[in-house]
Amino acid sequence: MTDELEGPPQRLKNSTLFFYGISDFPVMLAVMPMMLYLNVFYAGEIGIDLIDLGSMLLFARVFDLLTDPLIGYLSDHTKTRWGRRKPWMVASLPFLMLGLYKVLIPDEGADIWYLFTWVMVMWLGWTMLMIPYYAWGAELTGDYDDRTRVTGWRAAMGSLGQLSAIGFPVIAATWFELDGFAGIMRITAYAVLVLMPIAVLVTVSTVKEAEIAHPPNTRLFDGLGIMMKNRPFLWLVVAFMISSLGVAVLMPLNAFYATAVLGAAQNDVPLLMLFGSVAGLLGIPFWVFVSGRFGKHRAWIGGFIWVTAFSPMYLFLGPGDFWLMVPFAVISAFGTGSFVALPNSMKADVIDVDTAQTGENRAAVFFSAWSLATKLASSLGGTLGLWALAWIGFDAGLGVDNSPAAILGIKYVYALLPAAIFILAAIVIWNYPLDREAQQRVRAAIDHREGRGEISQSLGQSSE
């Protein structure tokens, strides 16, 4: 079996980490076209107004206020012969795959209400998959650095999924004629529909869930009160939400910037993102190494600084500078390796604080809040970016010649708005209290069931 632990200090086998992380491959394969091309496709080719599109994507998240805590609660309280997390991951597949198909390959005559309906179905399946999956990852090990290996492997597999989402269209465009963003989304959707059930079934059939000594004994709506008492979690989730907001603003703007400012063809955009994804993937082991030397939150701050340092360069590019943009994008993307590996490892650490205080494992409650924060940040960031484009007078229609003022405006939005958001996230997380030493004290309390008062006091928390 791939789930066995090796001897002291009980490091998880690489094979276990691989089979656990593989489910993130099709997930991120699906995420990329939605982040990069969805907005520009539905605005430019379907003809949905930028303001209406941004508002709809934000409003769709209201549904998650109910589903995320509900799925988290149900996952924590599920009892089956297969475990707590696996049944939910398998049950998510029909909803997620149908929603993805309808969103990425829209029917003839699709409008804003069509998109709203199928986005809701897609996000329901997404919630059913990701909350149990991420909670399961937090339960695989309690070691501070080994958890970074768990999230590092998962992030690496996700980055390969991102790379594939961008590489498939590049390869396909070499052999076939793709019809712009519509063709890119279509070919990616077909790949996701094949790979998603395979990867999820491989994970649930090869990796064993951890034995939980004390299942949670909480009511459905106790989650908010639980999280409000966990200061490190609040600290982390605020910083992560701000960081995700910056990414959500930046990613869809890549296509607008490349095509409108640089004059690149639609089929050139995946090539730019391919180089960036390779750089982000290569950055993951580097930032994992840095976190081992200086701590997770310091390494994460280093990633923020790295990315923002190169952002102003985009103000100086113009028509015909597509290939001049590539080296800046590649160097900047190297810093994003810290975004995907480190906060997820830190998330497992803050859940330990609650376990040390209460003796219960309520990981999915925290992951439901994390999932909701991620989704809200994603939608708010995408909405903010679209509203900013509308505010500067940018027209996303196909073949439209925008004014010099609108082109200058998109330069400033693209170069400066995400950078300012990343700097804010770095400021928020600067004095984060749960470093390696504090986490090891928390784990000692869990392992030996003593010292809770000292830990709670040192972290500025109140026990239940």
> pLDDT digits over 417-441, tens only?
999 999 999 999 998 888 888 888 8
Whether residue 5 has pLDDT greater than 50: no
List Cβ neighbours of 446 (8 Å cut-off, separation of 6 or more).
142, 352, 355, 356
Chain centre to alpha carbon of residue 327 = 24
Whether residue 108 has pLDDT greater than 90: no
Of 78-92, 180-194, 199-213, 351-365, the range with the highest mean pLDDT is 78-92
Whether residue 464 has pLDDT greater than 60: no
Taking phi first (over 0 means left), then psi (-120 to 50 degrees means alpha), and beta for anything else, what does residue 109 get? left
Q: Check residue 456 and give its pLDDT.
A: 44
Whether residue 460 has pLDDT greater than 50: no
> pLDDT digits over 24-77, tens only?
999 988 887 887 788 888 888 888 888 888 888 788 777 777 788 888 888 888
Instruction: Quickly count: other Cβ atoms within 10 Å of residue 270's Cβ.
Output: 27
Q: Check residue 41 and give its pLDDT.
A: 86
Whether residue 211 has pLDDT greater than 80: no
Q: Check residue 90 and give its pLDDT.
A: 95
Name the amino acid, one letter, at 120: M
How far is it, in rounded angstroms, from Cα 80 to Cα 82?
5
Claim: this prediction has a pTM higher than 0.85? no
Name the amino acid, one letter, at 193: L
What is the tally of helices (H) and strands (E) in the chain? 19, 0
Average pLDDT (260-278) is: 81
Measuring CA to CA, which residue among 129, 106, 119, 124 is closest to residue 26? Answer: 129
The two structure tokens encoding residue 4: 């066995």
Measuring CA to CA, which residue among 355, 348, 336 is closest to residue 281? Answer: 336
Q: What percent of the chain has pLDDT over 90?
A: 25
Cβ atoms 63, 120 nearer than 8 A: yes
Which segment of 66-70, 219-223, 305-309 scores lowest on mean pLDDT? 219-223
The class that CATH gives domain 14-203+219-458 is: mainly alpha
> pLDDT digits over 234-249, tens only?
888 889 889 988 988 8
Q: Check residue 226 and give its pLDDT.
A: 64
Q: Check residue 225 and give its pLDDT.
A: 64
How far is it, in rounded angstroms, from Cα 77 to Cα 79?
6
Write down the domain spans for the chain: 14-203+219-458
Peptide linkage before 132 cis (omega within 30 of 0): no
- Residue with token string 């360069």: 313
Whether residue 93 has pLDDT greater than 80: yes
Whether residue 214 has pLDDT greater than 60: no
Q: Check residue 176 and give its pLDDT.
A: 65
Cβ atoms 303, 335 nearer than 8 A: yes
Cβ atoms 342, 285 nearer than 8 A: no
Query: What is the phi/psi pair of residue 12, to 5°?
Result: -65, 145
Whether residue 2 has pLDDT greater than 50: no
Better pLDDT: 84 or 225: 84
The two structure tokens encoding residue 150: 């768990």
Q: Where are the alpha helices (DSSP H) in 140-230?
A: 144-175, 180-206, 223-228
List Cβ neighbours of 55 (8 Å cut-off, separation of 6 or more).
383
Q: Is 12 helix (H, G, I), strand (E, B) or coil?
A: strand
Average pLDDT (213-232) is: 62
- Residue with token string 């580097």: 286
pLDDT band at 450 (very low <50, low <70, confident <90, very high): very low
Whether residue 97 has pLDDT greater than 70: yes
List Cβ neighbours of 198 (8 Å cut-off, separation of 6 or more).
26
Better pLDDT: 218 or 433: 433
448 exposure class (CB count in 10 Å sphere: 0-12, 13-18, 19+)? exposed
Q: Check residue 92 and give its pLDDT.
A: 95
Instruction: Quickly count: other Cβ atoms within 10 Å of residue 329's Cβ.
Output: 18
